[in-house]
Chains A and B, each alone.
With several copies, the nearest count.
Chain A
Amino acid sequence: MDTAFLTRWIAGIADAVRAERDRLTELDAAIGDADHGANLDRGFGAAVQALADDPPAAPGALLRLVGGTLISRVGGASGPLYGTAFREAGRSLGSSGEASEVSLADLARALRAGLDGVTRLGSAAEGDKTMVDAFAPAVRALETAVSAGAGEREAFEAAASAALAGAEATVPMVARKGRASYLGPRSAGHEDPGAASCALIFAALCTADQGHG
């Protein structure tokens, strides 16, 4: 995968977030503060713009630029968290003399680093009803696909459906992190907005791959 693929991925996330903006906001209204859709729309919109303004030469630099843009434009909880995820993913791809192509295994490692960044910063574990509940199973699915020697399409589809399942599994959970935790038991019965947006991010890998193929 090259910068073109990753650029398509980010553009696909931005499109999906814009299309689902109202749904994300509604999910956040139920157990948060009704801004998640607007936050990510602003952030990924800015990321697409940043990539267009000054296209990075290498995949690592590209992901770091996306992460930095999210941090500097989103705010809220999701800005630093997703920003860190992309930044750490970019960092894991090496910082000097970067390759212009990354393998599926590289990407899986990068996303694992991103996930580690998120849990380090936010200290949420799976089951806390956060984006981690979609992120973690998606990374595991990717790693499993890599171990099994699967192709990109197959791997991305596995990751996307793991993320989606993870997001859906947040519905009955009682939140222990983020704003939803203030609701205590009342947070149960609603999908976590960050988990829902994380599912969109992994689904966009498939779209980017199809655009490629």
Chain B
Amino acid sequence: MLATTREREQLRNVKKLINSAETVVTDALRGLSAAHPGLRVDPDGRTVSRSGGPTPGKVGLVSGGGSGHEPLHAGFVGYGMLDAACPGEIFTSPVPGQMVTATAAADGGAGVLYVVKNYTGDVLNFELAADLCAEEGVEIASVLVDDDVAVRDSLHTAGRRGTGATVFVEKIAGAAAEGGASLAEVTRVAEEVNARSRSFGVALSACTTPASGRPTFELGETEIELGIGIHGEPGRSRSTMRDARELAAIALDAVDEDMPLSGDALVMVNGMGATPLIELYVVFAEVAEQLAGRGVRVARSLVGDYVTSLDMRGFSVTVCLLDEDLTRLWDAPVETPALRWGR
């Protein structure tokens, strides 16, 4: 199917490697399918699951959310992590139907845990799906990821956003599930990871959604946004560009203020989609050094693009305070497109 003239005009203007704004999610899923024989991908139905189907007797893990955050979530489907994922339109929570299909693909008879990033849309759609699945007799539990310290938590608001910690929750809960833990235990582990994790993000540029073809906000040549989410939303405040050292300090201060840092930590320096790896390593050098200065040991780490925001330039830092159990679960084998070790 060729793009329409108007679409072509648009994609030329934004210069994205796509066929059309309408087909980008489907096309990317076709690519995911072609690249990863270990996944069962339904590009039209928008679900991704392990090609072997549900693991009998294992708690199933399902996550999902808008597209545009790749490799999240589909890139984390596989042994030791998710059983199924359902990608929505760009930055749009998936619909309950997708979640129901994903649940069926994940349900090995021991119940299914939904890993839900705390956004109104994700929460509402997963709630509707949970109702439908419960009616079908599947035992469903949910964990809400809300690690972003840029947003003040309050009873009267939508609460904190879910960002980088999602990767930690999915990996560690996935390991617990693979190890045979019960739904209650997997849920508890997931909640604990979330409780011990905090994130803060910085944007050097906005992102451009294929549909709108325009940056979600405009930044001057020396301006940056502090406290951004992963949907191209503006952050909590605008600031001027600093060097990597200062930006790392701003992020760590924000995290530390919300959750005093100490002991061993799992630390991720995550690129927002258009940040070169060399820059992420520069940031990680500062983060690791400054954490050491605060008495925190970087026991485990990830540096790279894990939870992105289309073509945004910038980074986020996520810190999870480890204990022995969580470290063991983090180290357990995992085999997914985006995270793999021990297999």
Q: Do A and B come from one complex?
A: yes
Binding site for B on A (CB under 8 A): 22, 25-26, 29-35, 38-39, 42, 71-81, 121-122, 176-179, 181-184, 186
- When C-beta atoms are compared, the residue in chain B nearest to A182 turns out to be B151
Q: A34-B232, A77-B124 known; A182 and B161 CB under 8 Å?
A: yes
A8, B157: Cα distance in complex, Å:
37
- Are A77 and B120 touching (Cβ within 8 A)? yes
User: A133: shortest Cβ distance to chain B, in Å?
Assistant: 15
- Are B233 and A177 touching (Cβ within 8 A)? no
Q: A75-B88, A80-B125 known; A34 and B158 CB under 8 Å?
A: no
> Is chain B's binding surface mostly helix, strand, loop or mixed?
loop
Q: A29-B217, A72-B96 known; A183 and B121 CB under 8 Å?
A: no
- Are B156 and A176 touching (Cβ within 8 A)? yes
- Are B124 and A81 touching (Cβ within 8 A)? yes
- Are B209 and A34 touching (Cβ within 8 A)? yes
- Are B89 and A35 touching (Cβ within 8 A)? yes
A72, B100: Cα distance in complex, Å:
11
User: B216: shortest Cβ distance to chain A, in Å?
Assistant: 5
- When C-beta atoms are compared, the residue in chain A nearest to B236 turns out to be A184
Give the interface size class of chain B.
35 or more
- Are B119 and A74 touching (Cβ within 8 A)? no
Binding site for A on B (CB under 8 A): 66, 88-97, 119-121, 124-125, 127-128, 150-152, 156-158, 161, 209, 211-212, 214, 216-217, 229, 231-234, 236-237
- Are B89 and A39 touching (Cβ within 8 A)? yes
- When C-beta atoms are compared, the residue in chain B nearest to A36 turns out to be B92
Q: Which of A26, A29, A179 contacts B158 (CB 8 A)?
A: A179
- When C-beta atoms are compared, the residue in chain A nearest to B88 turns out to be A75
Q: A35-B91, A80-B125 known; A183 and B233 CB under 8 Å?
A: yes
- Are A122 and B124 touching (Cβ within 8 A)? yes
Q: Which residues of A contact B97 (CB under 8 A)?
A: 72
Q: 11 additional contacts, CB 8 Å, given A31-B233, A71-B96, A181-B158?
A: A32-B231, A33-B216, A33-B231, A34-B211, A72-B95, A72-B96, A75-B89, A76-B88, A176-B158, A179-B229, A183-B234
A81, B125: Cα distance in complex, Å:
10
- When C-beta atoms are compared, the residue in chain A nearest to B229 turns out to be A182
Q: Which residues of A contact B96 (CB under 8 A)?
A: 71-72, 80
- Are B150 and A182 touching (Cβ within 8 A)? yes
- When C-beta atoms are compared, the residue in chain A nearest to B128 turns out to be A80
- Are B91 and A34 touching (Cβ within 8 A)? yes
User: B278: shortest Cβ distance to chain A, in Å?
Assistant: 15
10 A-B pairs closest in CB distance: A33-B231, A80-B124, A77-B121, A76-B121, A77-B120, A33-B91, A76-B92, A75-B92, A181-B157, A75-B95
Q: A77-B124, A182-B233 known; A29 and B214 CB under 8 Å?
A: yes
A72, B98: Cα distance in complex, Å:
9
A79, B66: Cα distance in complex, Å:
13
User: A65: shortest Cβ distance to chain B, in Å?
Assistant: 15
Q: Which residues of B contact A176 (CB under 8 A)?
A: 156-158
User: B4: shortest Cβ distance to chain A, in Å?
Assistant: 15
User: B159: shortest Cβ distance to chain A, in Å?
Assistant: 9
Interchain residue pairs with CB less than 8 A apart (26): A30-B234, A32-B233, A33-B231, A34-B216, A35-B89, A35-B211, A38-B92, A42-B89, A71-B95, A71-B96, A71-B128, A74-B92, A75-B125, A77-B93, A77-B124, A78-B121, A80-B121, A80-B125, A176-B158, A177-B158, A179-B120, A179-B229, A182-B151, A182-B233, A186-B234, A186-B237
Q: Which residues of A contact B233 (CB under 8 A)?
A: 31-33, 179, 182-183
A72, B236: Cα distance in complex, Å:
33
- Are B119 and A77 touching (Cβ within 8 A)? yes
User: A182: shortest Cβ distance to chain B, in Å?
Assistant: 5
A28, B77: Cα distance in complex, Å:
31
